[in-house]
Structure 1
Amino acid sequence: MRSYRYGARVRRDLGLCSGAVASLTLANVCPWGAAPVDVLIADGTISDVVAAGTADTSGVTVDGGGLLALPGFINAHAHVDKSWWGQPWVSYGGEPTTQGRIAHERAERDKYGIPSIDGATAVLREFLRHGTTATRTHVDVDLGTGLRGIDTVRAAAAALDGAVEVEIVAFPQDGVVRRPGVLELLDQAAAAGASNIGGIDPASIDRDPVAQLDGLFEIAERRGVGIDIHLHDGGELGAFQMELIIDRTRRAGLHGRVTIAHGFALGELPAHRQAELLDELGEVGISWTTVAPAPSAPLPWRDMREREITLGLGTDGIRDLWSPYGDGDMLGIALRFAQLHRLRTDEDLTRAVRLASTGGGGFVHRPAFDLAPGARADIVLLDAENVPDALVRAPRRRLVMAGGRVVARDGEVLL
């Protein structure tokens, strides 16, 4: 029986954790629970994967001790600019509605120094500690903060020397057309390098879905960026807005560049309506992200998979003025997805973990992300018997590698 104890020979080069190494070998690990292999890494990229014990280990070597190896997790929907992680506890307040949370956040964020470089850095460090090495994060852009949040998140990512790759969505949390000037800010963010612009509930927040979507798609076409829209509205109201987004995507030729986040309505609709929408979503390449909240209706994820609709998982906010919950662990989100959708078989439990890792690659421009040659060397080692065991126990990450560097060990960030 395989031993899952962590290998004692962790590194030969004392500088391995603090800087890049041109080449190294991660020896004796079990990718996705398969037979042991040695992973060869050059310039931060996996160059080859060979049978364990066959690699040249005369150079810098990290002994994986036969542990389970997974690709670095990808958080496809985060809000790293808004957390009070690391600060004194903040009690929940305000009204528990979308409009109520927006108003409460606007009133209270300055008191808690949101956004701040320290706050965003603390969240990204938690991501790393749990094995997340890339994220798509929504960053608030509004008349109160301007583009300051984007600068803050970029500075936080730089503070970690790129260990967590960050893709930014300029996000109009307080609405788009109901706040004159927000469209101009989104346009400025896109011009300044934001990969995506966001939207939020075109019908219930702006109460003018045509105007919001026309404005967003015009910027996306002109600036060559993607669109990532929060859609909380349920039932037929949510379905109506999905149809509008599908139509705009088709007319703008933005196939594969539009994402719907949350999209709770999809799980609430009868099967025939789901099928109609899924056919169109698949046709225009609209992707989906979910945080799998417990009270929501399960998504038709198998039907989405059959239609090749990309589905990613995310943490949403972590200890912010919307919710006191969250710890940045994508295995926890994958477990919540599995529980919400009543997954039981080893195959399905493994698919839930893939949603939190390889399945999220497209959201951060990593279409071929896995433990394979050519991929960035982002690797997580866990003391687990297999992938389903890792999912249900969420054991401490024994080692996290980002871009070929060891950045966390035994739950401690080394940067």
Structure 2
Amino acid sequence: MTSLLLANVRPWGGPPVDVVIADGRIVDVVPAGTATTTGERIDGRGLLALPGFVNAHAHVDKSWWGRPWVPYGGEATTQGRIAHERAERDKYGIPSVDGAKAVLREFLRHGTTATRTHVDVDLGVGLRGIENVLAAAESLGNAVDVEIVAFPQDGVMRRPGVLDLLDRAAAEGATSIGGLDPASIDRDPVAQLDALFEIAERRDVGLDIHLHDGGELGAFQYELIIERTLRAGLAGKVTVSHGFALGELSTDRQARLVDQLGEAGISWATVAPVRSAPLPWRAMRDRGVAIGLGTDGIRDLWSPYGDGDLLRVALGFARLHGLRTDDELAYAIELATTEGARFVHREQHGVAPGSRADVVLLDAENVQDALVRAPRRELVVAGGKVVVRDGELRV
């Protein structure tokens, strides 16, 4: 029985169609005006239809969204941000169910219906942050499909007991475990990576490693990750997040590394920060190195920026990398939607039969127009349920 019909919409700016949805999935896409329904019918008014956005790198446990403004403080280094967050987070009730829920609601407002989120696991909070995020997602009816990366933000080897927490998280349902700057934070990259890969291989989970280190120090750690991925047979299960060094290397050095990353099946998650070096995205695409886009933290103790709009992140990626042609601009949208599917373990993600019914309607001429203007999301369907109508949240 049909539960929802999106009538007269234009997937990817193409000809108008009717999208038939039942039991949370798209079951048919037919020419506009030819579908019938026994459930709710929504007139799409010829609006542009895109798949729900996929946020491949988030930190939904950290935000003070919805609270009074929190001034930026502490030192502007990775270690400085860690120390500041550890000193201040309890004051602002971080992490909490309400805080995570506020971020997930902003994701929905902007059309994000799936996310891979890093959640801090450390000696201070244990696994409480993961419990809070899952409770927040459940309170929204799992409209945002959430995957958890148990993330050791305060280091691994330098904090005895964190490895045990990561192992517990993996045993209790986290789809990935994380790592952080094995060289500059733990100052023992071999020990950190060996320990993380041992858990990932034994627990059959993914591995997602934050790497901020630049230049040859960053490249050296890529090589260690590549070696271990191939040795453990974890192709398709390892992600480097940020990875700023890749854009800083010489062209020849980049090319060799991209070939090796492709061979090892390692993916890349980026938030396309404004002052970072552009990635060799064409070579990465050609060699099968998956790229995912993410928002990173949103209004947290690391940064006052962010609003949860992945479309704006896609625009930032396009501007950072000098994308100009229609095909290139469309590619930025694909990174934020269909290409993000693999980061949340989906075999398909689109406005097509068989996909989870995640559909975003925008008042835009085409995908290129949607990218450069980032108009409001007129309608968002998540898992077959209308969660945004006329730009307003309904959850």
TM-score (norm 1): 0.94
Partner amino acid for 1:56?
Answer: T
Name the structure 1 match of 2:13: 33
Partner amino acid for 1:380?
Answer: V
SS in 1 for 2:225: helix
8 A contact 1:128–1:407 mirrored in 2:
yes
Q: Deviation per CA, 1:117-165, whole angstroms, max 9, x where unpaired?
A: 1100000000000000000000000000100000000000001011000
Structure 2: gaps of 5 or more residues = none
Distance 2:74 2:247 in 1: 28
Partner amino acid for 1:172?
Answer: P
8 A contact 1:259–1:287 mirrored in 2:
yes
Name the structure 1 match of 2:158: 178
Partner amino acid for 2:354?
Answer: G
1:312 and 2:292 are equivalent in the alignment: yes
1:22 is displaced (CA, Å) by 5.3
Structure 1: gaps of 5 or more residues = 1-20
**Residue from 21, 42, 57 that aligns with 2:22:** 42
1:63 is displaced (CA, Å) by 1.0
Partner amino acid for 1:184?
Answer: D
The within-5 A match list for 1:98-177 is 98-177=78-157
Q: Deviation per CA, 1:65-87, whole angstroms, max 9, x where unpaired?
A: 10000000000000000000000
Distance 2:293 2:339 in 1: 8
Partner amino acid for 1:95?
Answer: E
Distance 1:319 1:163 in 2: 22
1:308 is displaced (CA, Å) by 1.1
SS in 1 for 2:117: strand
Partner amino acid for 2:124?
Answer: G
SS in 1 for 2:146: strand
1:414 is displaced (CA, Å) by 0.3
Partner amino acid for 1:146?
Answer: G
Distance 1:178 1:69 in 2: 48
8 A contact 1:26–1:63 mirrored in 2:
yes
Name the structure 2 match of 1:363: 343
1:59 is displaced (CA, Å) by 3.8
Q: Deviation per CA, 1:270-306, whole angstroms, max 9, x where unpaired?
A: 0110111111100110000000000000000010000
1:294 and 2:294 are equivalent in the alignment: no
Distance 2:228 2:98 in 1: 39
Name the structure 1 match of 2:357: 377
8 A contact 1:22–1:44 mirrored in 2:
no
1:258 and 2:242 are equivalent in the alignment: no
SS in 2 for 1:214: helix
**Residue from 322, 330, 334 that aligns with 1:350:** 330
Partner amino acid for 1:138?
Answer: H
Q: Structure 2 vs 1, CA of residues 59 and 160 (structure 1 numbering), >3 Å: closer, same or farther?
A: closer
Name the structure 2 match of 1:54: 34
1:58 is displaced (CA, Å) by 5.1
**Residue from 213, 217, 227 that aligns with 2:207:** 227
Q: Deviation per CA, 1:235-292, whole angstroms, max 9, x where unpaired?
A: 0000000000000001111010000000000000001101111111001100000000
State the percentage of identical aligned residues: 76
Distance 2:64 2:160 in 1: 29
Partner amino acid for 1:250?
Answer: L
Q: Deviation per CA, 1:327-371, whole angstroms, max 9, x where unpaired?
A: 000110000000000111111111101101111101111121111
1:413 is displaced (CA, Å) by 1.0
Distance 1:320 1:197 in 2: 22
**Residue from 32, 38, 57 that aligns with 1:77:** 57
8 A contact 1:311–1:359 mirrored in 2:
yes
Distance 1:116 1:34 in 2: 42
Partner amino acid for 1:320?
Answer: D
Name the structure 1 match of 2:192: 212
Distance 2:381 2:4 in 1: 12
Partner amino acid for 1:30?
Answer: R
**Residue from 305, 328, 335 that aligns with 1:325:** 305
Partner amino acid for 2:322?
Answer: R
Q: Deviation per CA, 1:154-195, whole angstroms, max 9, x where unpaired?
A: 000001011000000000000000000000000000011000
8 A contact 1:139–1:168 mirrored in 2:
yes
SS in 1 for 2:49: strand
1:336 and 2:302 are equivalent in the alignment: no
Name the structure 2 match of 1:281: 261
Name the structure 2 match of 1:15: none
1:86 and 2:66 are equivalent in the alignment: yes
Distance 2:50 2:90 in 1: 39
Q: How many residues align?
A: 395
Q: Deviation per CA, 1:14-48, whole angstroms, max 9, x where unpaired?
A: xxxxxxx9522111000000000011111111111
